[in-house]
């Protein structure tokens, strides 16, 4: 998943350097749309317009371009915590590529797997199509397995984690759950998780630097 197509070369990634500079946790956020079931992956505490534009490049009447400004209809499906900012950036990039492949290069295969209604369109209730949430969970599982790094996913609830088949054989992930919260305090809750992730990462990084005697813990050069 490292060789991105030309369509993906301009993904506006928050770089690892940016995440460090602004003391952001090594996280990737998955938000689900309450009205449609669509999912957006983000490096920030709520979906940005650029996230949506990049992940819905082939929007159609069954998968319309959602609106970022309606923050009230986006709920956290999952929060992924990676070991460091570099891993978080790579993880987000891989999720975006998986979405691109599903919508473009593997479009027919992906559509064949989707549950259909009697008219052979994607099954829906009103505007809601649950298949998009299920696909996002499958993409998260694929990205975790491909990363080969220890990580944690905090889910909205146990049901959102999806069927066990998605996670069979994937041993490098710890599943946990988001705390209960008032929707009006969603950003506060996510900010707390991100801060805890940043603090844990910095503590581990300092311990590593100290054990290797590098960075601020490097031994002074011997006097000649």
Digit-coded pLDDT (tens) for 80-120? 999 999 999 999 999 999 888 877 745 445 444 444 444 44
Give the separation between CA 195 and CA 68, rounded to whole angstroms: 24
Mean pLDDT confidence for 168-187: 95
Instruction: Give the integer Cα–Cα distance in Å for 84 and 198.
Output: 9
Provide the percentage of residues in the chain whose pLDDT is more than 70: 75
Residue 6, pLDDT above cutoff 50: no
- pLDDT for the residue 124: 45
Q: Which long-range contacts (CB under 8 A, 24 or more apart) does 177-182 make?
A: 178/76, 178/79, 178/154
Q: Enumerate the domain spans of the chain.
A: 6-217
pLDDT higher than threshold 80 for residue 222: no
Report pTM. Answer: 0.81
**pLDDT-based confidence at residue 198 (cuts at 50, 70, 90):** very high
Amino acid 9: pLDDT? 44
Contacts of 152 (CB under 8 A, 6+ apart): 80, 81, 173, 174, 175, 176
Q: Is 85 helix (H, G, I), strand (E, B) or coil?
A: helix
């Amino acid at each position: 998943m490292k060789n991105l197509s030309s369509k993906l070369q301009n993904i506006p990634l928050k770089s690892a350097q940016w995440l460090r500079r602004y003391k952001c946790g090594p996280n990737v956020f998955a938000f689900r749309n309450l009205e449609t079931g669509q999912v957006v992956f983000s490096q920030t505490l709520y979906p940005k317009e650029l996230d949506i534009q990049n992940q819905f490049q082939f929007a159609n009447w069954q998968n319309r371009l959602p609106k970022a400004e309606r923050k009230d209809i986006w709920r956290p499906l999952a929060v992924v915590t990676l070991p460091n900012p570099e891993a978080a950036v790579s993880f987000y990039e891989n999720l975006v590529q998986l979405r691109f492949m599903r919508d473009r290069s593997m479009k027919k295969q992906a559509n064949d797997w989707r549950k259909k209604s009697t008219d052979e369109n994607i099954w829906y209730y009103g505007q809601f199509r649950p298949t998009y949430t299920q696909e996002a969970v499958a993409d998260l599982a694929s990205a975790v397995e491909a990363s080969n790094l220890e990580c944690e996913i905090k889910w909205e609830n146990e049901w959102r984690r999806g069927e066990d088949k998605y996670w069979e054989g994937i041993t490098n992930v710890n599943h946990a759950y988001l705390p209960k919260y008032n929707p009006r305090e969603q950003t506060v809750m996510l900010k707390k998780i991100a801060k805890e992730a940043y603090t844990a990462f910095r503590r581990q990084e300092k311990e590593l630097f100290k054990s290797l005697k590098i960075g601020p813990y490097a031994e002074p050069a011997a006097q000649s």
